[in-house]
Amino acid sequence: MASEGTTSARPGWSVRVRILASILVTAALGLVVAGLVSYGLQRGATLREVDARLTTELTEARRVVGAQSGVTSTRTALRQVLSVAVPPEDGGTVGLLDGRVAFTPGVTEPVHPEKLAGFATRIARETADGSVRKGTFTAGDRSYRYLAVPVSVAGDPARGVFAVAIDLGRRLEPVDGTFRAYALIAGIVVVVIGLIGWIIAGRLLAPIRRLNAMAQRIGADDLRERIPVEGDDDVSVLTGTVNSMLDRIETGVQQRRALLDDVRHELKAPLSVVRGEFELLDSGDPLVIAQAQRVGVEEVDRMAALVDGLTDLTEVQTSALARTPVDVAALTDDLLARASTMSGHAWRVDARAAAVVLLDRERIIQAWLQLADNAAKYAPPGSPIAIGSEVAGGEVLLRVVDEGTPIALADRDRIFKRFARGRAAGARGGSGLGLAIVAAIAAAHDGRVTLGSDAGGNTFTIHLPARTPGRV
């Protein structure tokens, strides 16, 4: 049974399917809108051509009627109009006399208006007032655009009508055929877009699938696997970001393991000492009890200092820096004021850098003050110690110079590691973490710590990038 609070993953469309669906919907919508607009424009142009053709018929009919002379009857005039009128290629003409079909063309026509049920009655009714009429007549599933022109002769009471009808279906058939062809091609285009989109989406999402597979394989015991970065698109940037995240996680895990190993190793000795004292403790001897108490307190204090040092070192290595603009000259004077509280030496400043750079001020003071404390411990009593800062070669240099015994060449790199102590340390106290913390703070600033040593003494220098505000 699933534990309370857990949720089961609900199946849904994959990212690939959603991307493809979005592409297809957008493409189909665009093609439909483009097709409908194009169809509407072509249909409108065709209907305007039909009306223009009817207008031409009207002009021709009026010209014929106006040119006639000696015509005394409406029937004769109507016959003359029908005889000279040229029927449209997709239409037909008819002549009505007193509401009845009286004349039809003597040529074969695609459309026979006289055979359209109700057509003659309609145009006779519409032209009863003697006006020219234009409209659309529907018979069954066919539509016709028509023009009805009254024809009359003075003195003759008969009423004639010359009518022209054009089959809109025939005239629009090329437009409809073009639209059907467009719809077929558009459907094929959508299918092709779908196939190509499916392939492209699969290739673009391949790094994400590899990322998912790797995330399922990766574990705390093996964080070394990375995703190959190919190309320079957004997915590649995401892949690089995930790889960087894994680098940080791997570094953190390694540091945690190293911390546990160091704690186990370093606490073993003091715990053994305390255990030995307790095992040999003679409760009847006050001196033995006092000695055991002193040793126990010293070892506990040493363990507490060790734990504090390891905690500080881990925090430096894993916490983000709080960079702010820092005046290096003012920082140098601040450090001098703090170092001067360490008695037994003459403290002075030998150089001040006139620069403002981006630093984590508290961390840099911690590291620089650690170097000063280190110099105070190991330099001869009463000897001068110089503090200085300068900008050189695109770096900010923060140094502490003492006149102590030169550090052996073999120790100059080793002393910056955890729990490493120089041969000159002797019986002086310390956890062996001070210089390791200094190196970690410098590394967090993308810098480093160096040691110069000669017969005149030792020079510890923190090298930091001279990043100024506005240029990180």
Cα-only R_g, the chain: 51
For the chain, the domains span 20-176, 234-318, 324-465
365-372 average pLDDT score: 92
The larger pLDDT score, comparing residue 68 to residue 323, is at 323
Q: What is the pTM of this model?
A: 0.50
Q: Of 38-47, 124-133, 269-278, where does mean pLDDT reach its minimum?
A: 269-278
State the CB neighbour count (10 A cutoff) for residue 272: 11
Burial of 11 (0-12, 13-18, 19+ CB in 10 A): exposed
The b-or-e profile of 417-442 (16+ CB within 10 A means b, else e) is: ebeebbeebeeeebbbbbbbbbbbbb
Q: How do residues 252-310 score in pLDDT, each as one tens digit? A: 777 777 767 766 766 776 777 777 767 766 666 777 777 777 777 777 777 777 777 77
pLDDT at 4: 43
What 3-state class would DSSP assign to 380? coil
Q: How do residues 155-208 score in pLDDT, each as one tens digit? A: 888 899 999 999 998 888 999 999 999 999 999 999 999 999 999 888 878 877
396-401 average pLDDT score: 94
DSSP string, 181-218: HHHHHHHHHHHHHHHHHHHHHHHHHHHHHHHHHHHHH-
pLDDT at 309: 74
Q: Name the strand (E) or helix (H) holding 348.
A: strand 346-351
2 pLDDT higher than 50: no
Ranges of beta strands (E only) in 203-300 are none
Q: Which CATH class is domain 324-465?
A: alpha beta
* Residue 410 neighbours by CB under 8 Å, 6+ apart: none
CB 156 within 8 A of CB 73: yes
| CA distances in angstroms from 453 to 128, 403, 423, 461, listed in the order given | 124, 10, 14, 11
Q: Which fold has domain 234-318?
A: Helix Hairpins (1.10.287)
pLDDT at 79: 86
Grade residue 470 by pLDDT with cuts at 50, 70 and 90. Answer: low
pLDDT at 81: 83
The larger pLDDT score, comparing residue 67 to residue 239, is at 239
Strand order in the sheet with 346-351: 346-351, 384-392, 395-402, 457-465, 448-454
429 pLDDT higher than 60: no
CB 172 within 8 A of CB 45: no
Q: Extract the tokens encoding 472.
A: 């990180």
The three-point CA angle 98-102-103 to 5° equals 140
pLDDT at 9: 47
CB 440 within 8 A of CB 314: no
pLDDT at 400: 95
Q: Which CATH class is domain 20-176?
A: alpha beta
Q: Extract the tokens encoding 368.
A: 């620089």
